[in-house]
Structure 1
Amino acid sequence: MKICFATNNPKKIEEVNAALAGNFELVSLTDIGCTDELPETGDTLEHNAFQKARYVKEHFGVDCFADDTGLEVDALEGEPGVYSGRYAGEPRSDERNIDLLLKNLENASIRTARFKTVIALLLNGEEYKFEGVAEGEILNKRTGNGGFGYDPIFLPNGYQKSFAELSLVEKNAISHRGKAVSELIAFLNHI
């Protein structure tokens, strides 16, 4: 089965492709001729995920799924949340986002946080939602060179390595996106 992943982020495509393990052919936005910046104007992860998927379906006529992910930090009352990708403003920059988050947590004694992913699937005229959460804490400094986004400062519960230090297989087994993608794959395998 072919399915479009409505994202312009090559690292997300790499992660999801690894999780699909050859069961599906993942088609990118580039593959369907979409070079548009997908809209993300919602105030929730779910709203943004469905907004992106609906945009692709409406403008390109293909079934697809889209995700939105946010990092919620308890000491910052859930920030950056839905604004995680543009926390430090435009243009988007993982490095500036991390710098701002670490600065805002300088005096925080509680550093618990979680990543949340919502996947919106549009398939055969129906809409479906899948979610994944990874609990952990924010480190004081970057560790590791893998992953993307906040991975170098996120220590998942039960691990001594940041997401950026884990292999793609290890990360997919426990990450928010990996969990949501597992739900998506289980659903697609049973339709």
Structure 2
Amino acid sequence: MLDSKLKKFVKGHSAFQKVKFKKNEERFKRLVEEGQNPKALFIGCSDSRVMPDMITGAKPGDLFIIRNIGNFVAPYKPDEDYHSTASAIEYAVSILEVSDIIVCGHSHCGAIEALYANLPQTDENLHTIKWLDLGRDAKKIASLAYKGKDRAEMLRYTEKISVVYQLENLLTYPGIQRRIEEGNLFLHAWHYDLESGVIEHYDDEIFEFIPLSQK
């Protein structure tokens, strides 16, 4: 017996089969026959309010997507036994050979807020606390810049600067370094505002986030 909360997903799947799948049936068939050839790797947050395909207008096959808590990127560490984010990055860069990598943060991010909560470590959040370490540098910078100022502004700044730090972590991957040097891979830092629907991108010439529409 399905939980009542899941019944809407069953109905949604039925509607997908009857309408959206039928409308895009030829595209799905080509994706099976020809394989995937995504335009970009999109690294976003697991937050249920962030929908990569929806906010970019991407179609099936356009984006290779990685989602995790805080849209963080762990630096290259070949001595680790398991690393799902790292393996997906390597696959997208070296196998699928995407031309662009987008790291997209968002407003009201729970992971960023958690950086300021000083959560106690327990057996139930061991991996989460460790994972949040990837946002500590951004917190340090934002805490100094916004000391004694508006907390909401500090959180928005932390979200944005954290995305820039994740780009630095991406640069530790050999495959990414190689392809950037070859001139066929480009990195992008984005921030999506939940309230306005606006995506801003980091302009490394003026060191500011500006609306993507101005890119």
User: Hey, which of these two has a bigger chunk of strand by percent?
Assistant: 1
Rg larger in structure: 2
TM-score, shorter chain, exceeding 0.5: no
Higher RCO (Cα < 8 Å, 6 or more apart)? 2
- TM-score w.r.t. length of structure 1: 0.34
- TM-score w.r.t. length of structure 2: 0.32
